[in-house]
Amino acid sequence: MALSGEISRKFPLFLICRIAGNIDQAKQLIESCFDYVTDIDEHKLFRKRK
């Protein structure tokens, strides 16, 4: 996904970034201790410190 590459260049190396396209993916990320950041183009962005 092109959006994923753009996101990884904007965040420093000490963060793990993930994109959720639906509720089930968002739920899995939250259960894995990812923090919600924002919405971009109907996708939810999450991050977690390494």
Q: Please give the Cα distance from 24 to 29 (Å, whole number).
A: 9
* Closest among 46, 8, 5, 6 to 21, alpha carbons compared: 46
Q: What is the pLDDT of residues 4-48, one digit of tens each?
A: 656 666 655 688 999 999 999 999 999 999 999 999 999 999 999
Number of structural domains in the chain: 1
pTM, 2 dp? 0.70
E strands, the chain, are 15-20, 35-40, 43-49
Domain of 11, in residue numbers: 2-49
